[in-house]
Amino acid sequence: MQSLNGRVALVTGAGRGIGRAIALSLARHGADLAINFASNEQAAGEVAEKVRAMGRKAELFKCNIADDAAVHAMGEAIKKVYPNIDILVNNAGITRDKSFLKMNHSEWDEVVAVNLKGPVQMTHLFLPQMVEKGWGRIINITSVIGQMGNFGQANYAAAKGGLDAFTKTIAKEVARKGVTANCVAPGFIRTDMTAQVSEKALEHIKSITPMGRMGEAEEIAEVVAFLASPAASFVTGQEIGANGGLYM
C-alpha cells in the first residue's frame, strides 16, 4: 500500500469528483500531494486535510489550467514547495455539450483549452524535471467519449481523443528516460459532471453498459494509483478503459 512513499503527485481539479478520489488514493499509497483547484478553495482544503490526516504533505495551488500565464505562475509556486513533481495527473476537465451543427467557436475553444491545452501545458512544465530525475509518471484522464464519440460532444470527444494521441507520442519520446505516460478513460462515473445529464439519458447509458451501472470515482482512482505505482513500470502509451464494459 505504501508503494508511492517519497513521491510527490500533482493532481489537477482535485477539489471534487474523480480528482478528489485520485488525490486521496495516491496519498493512501504514500504520496505527498500538490492539489490544484480552480475556484472552490474550501473543497480543496478539505481534501488537503484528509491527505494530512494520513500523514502525508498536502499543499493547495489555485489555477485555471486553461490560462497559460496562470499555469506558468503555478509551476513556479509549486517548485518553491516541491522541487520535483514525480507524478502528474491531468484530471481537470469540462463539458459544453451541443450538437455540432449548433456549437459555436467559444464552446469549442473552451473545452479544448481545458481538456487538451491544459494537460499539454502542465506536461510541458513538469516533464523536463522528470526526465532529468530519470523517473516520472504522466497520467491523463481521457474518456470513453474520446474512444467512441457521442452525440453532442464533438468538442469533448476531439479534446479527449487528442489527449490520448498526445500521450502516446510523449510516451515514445521519453520511454528511455524512466518516464511513463498513460491515459485512464473512464466510462460514466457518478460525479457533478454527470449530475448535469438527464435521468432518462443516464438510464439509457446504464442499459448499454454491460455491468448495468455507473462507476464510482474511486474505481478510476485505483487505476490511476496502479499506473503511478512500481507495478506499472513496463506500462506506457496505454489508454486503460474503466467503463463497466461500455467500450471494449
Q: Which is nearer to ligand NAI, 16 or 137 (CB)?
A: 16
Place of cell 448495468: 212
Quote the cell numbers at residue 243.
467503463
CA 107 to chain centre: 21
Of 30, 75, 93, 136, the one binding ligand NAI (CB under 6 A) is 93
- Helices and strands in the chain: count of H runs, count of E runs: 10, 7
Beta strands in the chain (DSSP E): 8-11, 32-37, 58-62, 87-90, 136-141, 179-186, 239-242
Judged by CB under 6 A, which stretch of 98-106, 122-130, 164-172, 184-192 contacts ligand NAI? Answer: 184-192
Provide the grid cell at 217. 470515482
Interacting positions 191-230 with ligand NAI (CB under 6 A): 191-194
Please select the residue that binds ligand NAI; options are 11, 12, 56, 166, rule is CB under 6 A: 12
Closest CA to 141 of 34, 224, 65, 219: 224
Per-position x/- string for 101-130, each x denoting binding to ligand NAI as judged by CB under 6 A, each - no binding: -------------x----------------
Interatomic CA distance for residues 93 and 218, integer angstroms: 17
Question: Is residue 75 at the binding interface for ligand NAI, with CB under 6 A as the rule?
Answer: no
Contacting range for ligand NAI; rule: CB under 6 A; set: 91-99, 127-135, 164-172, 227-235: 91-99
- The answer to whether the beta carbons of residues 148 and 191 sit under 8 Å apart is no
**Residue 16 has what DSSP assignment?**
S
The amino acid at residue 132 is E
Residues 53-72 within binding reach of ligand NAI (CB under 6 A): 64-66
Residue 246 is a binding residue for ligand NAI (CB under 6 A): no
155 binds ligand NAI (CB under 6 A): no
According to the binding rule CB under 6 A, does residue 38 interact with ligand NAI? yes
Footprint of ligand NAI on this chain (CB under 6 A)?
12-13, 15-19, 36, 38, 64-66, 91-94, 114, 141, 143, 186, 188-189, 191-194
